[in-house]
Amino acid sequence: MPEKNMIRLGVAISISLLLVAVIAVFFLNLAHSFSGNTEPGDVRDIIHILDGTEWKLDRNGRKEFESLFALDPPAGLRIEREGDDALEFIFGNLSATVAWHEGYLKGVLNGREFSVSISRSHTGEGEAVSVFSGESVIIFFR
């Protein structure tokens, strides 16, 4: 291989490695900044906001619910407040207490621990309550 081509190949490899390193550092910093931890004061606000709300579950969500919890899936979710730092998640005729624990909202249903995340679209029109356990995610929406 001529010397010019070797130099070009070396420069191309160096630039590629630099770009990969910059992208990796960016995504590691991004992941670190969104740790998911919630402050206790924020949790109390979230609990008051969610009190009395009702959420729907689509067909895919029902399949995921049945697979995850080994229970008949509900049509939706109703949330009621239990004091200042806990919620009752009512899945049809089943219920689970969800409380703030180590920076996350957590609960247990049919012996399976789960975490909860609340999200809103950037336009503010759509809202969702997501239930996470392992690699499974069940999304309840309004």
- pLDDT tens string 22-35: 887 776 665 555 44
Q: How far is CA 78 from the centre of its chain?
A: 19
Q: Is the dihedral of CA 80, 127, 33, 138 positive or negative?
A: positive
Structure-token pair, residue 122: 């950037």
Whole-number average pLDDT of the chain: 85
Supply the pLDDT for residue 126.
79
Supply the pLDDT for residue 44.
78
- Indicate if the pLDDT at residue 107 is higher than 50: yes
Are β-strands 112-120 and 94-101 bridged in parallel, bridged antiparallel, or unpaired?
A: unpaired
For residues 98 and 88, is the Cβ–Cβ distance under 8 A?
A: yes
Supply the pLDDT for residue 63.
94
Instruction: Collapse the DSSP code of 109 into the 3-class scheme (helix H, G, I; strand E, B; otherwise coil) and give the result.
Output: strand
Supply the pLDDT for residue 78.
96
The mean-pLDDT minimum among 99-103, 122-126, 133-137 falls in 122-126
Supply the pLDDT for residue 21.
82
Residue 130's beta-bridge partner residues? 117, 139
Supply the pLDDT for residue 66.
95
